[in-house]
Amino acid sequence: MADIKQEAEASNTSTNMKIVKLLFLCLLFAACNTPKIAYDYDQNANFSNYSTYALFPEFHSGLSQLDEQRIVRALDNAMEQKGFSNADNPGIFVNVYTEKFQEESNNSVGVGIGGGGGNMGVGVSGGIPIGGPETFLRMTIDFIDREKDSLVWQAIIDTKFDPNLSPEERQALFSKIIKRALEAYPPEK
């Protein structure tokens, strides 16, 4: 009877460890796909003066017209949540521009050969890349003081970008990265 109980406990422990490992892997993959964001701002700007915005007059994101419309929708929602209102005579212009770039995948499989005898050992190893290059999107969001015609705040976001995303997935991606970028506005001085 004690043997059955010990086997059941060992089985539960094994299952729990598998669940913990799976959760850890999921968190690791989620962390790898988190947008990387860098900020900069004018230390002399009074950000409490800005409550209205409009798109920069020569707004061209560098993406397709459909993606540009998705970016504008995401930007309008995020700016509204920050307390801004869209105006014809705004305090700031908002400009968004993007560029796509590719990087080689960091995923690889390691292969090693080794041997030894006595007090001597020899080893050879190498990595075999898995998958092709990954596409990234760099999005820059600029806040420009309309009166001074000067940049007062900027966010640069790098994130993985799959060109085969559905329209809904693209909208969700743009909404996520713009909302995430605007979390640091206004900057804490």
Residue 23 CA, chain-centre distance (Å), reads: 20
pLDDT value of residue 31: 42
**pLDDT tens column, 56-85:** 999 989 999 999 999 999 999 999 999 999
Q: Is the pLDDT of residue 170 over 70?
A: yes
**Quick check: is 19 in a domain?**
no
62: left (phi over 0), alpha (psi -120 to 50) or beta: left
**Quick check: is 1 in a domain?**
no
**Quick check: is 6 in a domain?**
no
pLDDT band at 44 (very low <50, low <70, confident <90, very high): very high
Question: Which amino acid is present at 3?
Answer: D
Which residue(s) pair with 115 in the sheet?
Answer: 122
**Quick check: is 52 in a domain?**
yes
Report, as an integer, the average pLDDT of 6-31: 52
- Which helix (H) or strand (E) segment is 31 a member of? helix 2-32
Nearest Cα residue to 133 out of 163, 110, 157: 163
Question: Which amino acid is present at 58?
Answer: E
Torsion angle defined by CA atoms of residues 44, 46, 50 and 53, in that order, rounded to the nearest 10 degrees:
10
**Quick check: is 60 in a domain?**
yes
- Say which residues have a Cβ less than 8 Å from residue 91's Cβ, sequence separation at least 6: 49, 50, 51, 52, 53, 145, 146, 147
What CATH number has the domain bearing residue 70?
3.30.160.670
**Verdict on whether the full-model pTM lies above 0.85:** no
pLDDT value of residue 178: 96
**Quick check: is 159 in a domain?**
yes
**Quick check: is 189 in a domain?**
yes
**pLDDT tens column, 95-154:** 999 998 887 665 556 666 666 666 776 666 666 656 567 889 999 999 999 999 999 999
Q: Is the pLDDT of residue 3 over 50?
A: yes
Domain housing 170 = 34-104+132-189
Report the number of distinct structural domains present in the chain: 1
Q: Is the pLDDT of residue 24 over 50?
A: no
